[in-house]
A and B are shown apart, each in its own frame.
Chain A
Amino acid sequence: MVDFSWAPRSPLEKALVAGVHGARGIEAGVSLTEIRNFDLVQVMARRGKAADMATAAKVRFGVAAPETPTAVGAADATLIWSGPDQFFVLSKGGKHSTEALAQAFASSASLSDQSHARVLISISGDKARAMLAKLSSIDLHPDAFPVGAAAATSIDHTSVTLRRGNDRDGLAVFNLLVFATFAESLWHTMLDSAAEYGVVIGHSEEF
């Protein structure tokens, strides 16, 4: 019998080279950070069960799940709108894994584990918005896309879930979820877009 040893690797293992890229001699305007080791579960209401799913979410997380394109912070998870009657649960440490959530949503929603199916990229820096504006057709102006806003949209013909997290050092932070197999392509596109501003690249285990 063969003993399997699973060693999860990031889809950006090769593409991501930590350090400073692009324009030199100026302070880097964009930070691209891959967030690794997260739990991501898609929760989709079963037919006619949207109200039950909403109740179950409230009981489980203590906050109402988003019904509009927004992200809602719970104590140890972020609930991100992903479409009508569906949302993502983003968390760490297995507390809200598919197995952990199964009981809570057993009679109202279907769960799908997306933890290894998406790549999570955090985009920050004072040129983050300028860089994203070259790629995205949605309005990222603070008035139109405030903290907590989320969007299911396309960047470079690739479906992404774009979300604005809490500001850091007074600057906007954008978090992007992309399908794992499209991540490398999108990574290179974003790197090209950010190069003129100077880019700091890294990865982190922290949200």
Chain B
Amino acid sequence: MRIVCPFCGERELGEFTYLGDAKPMRPEAGASEDEVFDYVYLRDNAAGQTSEHWYHGGGCRAWLKVTRNTLTHEISAVEPAAGVGARQVAK
């Protein structure tokens, strides 16, 4: 498997580390116990398109958001994760 890093170009899998599902968003501070439980423990086991966080530790050390199909391993999109590079963050 290869991932096309938006900063470095196409690289082998060995340069990347998988973090996990990019979908769960941390609930607000006052969220219910159920919402926090969902965020911490519950994951969809999707057969098809998933959004995942990968870390290009062997290269530019950027966090990436990868859209991957779990049935075919086809990667349809790779974008910088939120906040990667000072440029991507609004002033």
Contacts and interface: CB of A to CB of B under 8 A. Distances in A.
Interface of A: 44-51, 53, 69, 82-85, 137-138, 151-154, 157, 159
Contacts of B91: 48
B74 interface: no
B7 A69 contact: yes
Nearest to A159: B58
A85 B80 CA distance: 13
Contacts of B57: 159
B85 interface: yes
A138 B62 contact: no
A137 B11 contact: yes
A71 B91 CA distance: 27
Given A83-B7, A84-B7, A137-B12, A48 B89 contact: yes
A83 B86 contact: no
Contacts of A50: 85-87
Given A69-B7, A151-B8, A152-B8, A83 B62 contact: yes
B86 A153 contact: no
Contact of A85 (B8, B12, B58, B85): B85
Contacts of A48: 86, 89-91
Contact of A154 (B14, B62, B85, B89): B14
Contacts of B84: 84
B38 interface: no
B85 A153 contact: no
Interface string B14-48: 11000000000000000000000000000000000
B61 A83 contact: yes
Contacts of B15: 137, 153-154
B86 A85 contact: yes
Contacts of A159: 57-59
Nearest to B85: A84
Interface in B39-91: 57-62, 80, 84-91
The winner among A49, A85, A152 for most chain B CB atoms within 10 A is A152
A152 B61 contact: yes
A6 B87 CA distance: 39
A154 B88 CA distance: 25
Contacts of B61: 83, 152
Contacts of B9: 69
B86 A45 contact: yes
B85 to A, nearest CB: 3
B89 A153 contact: no
Given A69-B8, A84-B84, A84-B85, A157 B60 contact: no
A157 B58 CA distance: 8
27 contacts: A46-B86, A47-B86, A48-B90, A50-B85, A50-B86, A50-B87, A69-B7, A69-B9, A69-B60, A83-B60, A83-B61, A83-B85, A84-B7, A85-B87, A137-B12, A137-B14, A137-B15, A151-B8, A151-B59, A152-B59, A153-B8, A153-B11, A153-B59, A154-B59, A157-B58, A159-B57, A159-B58
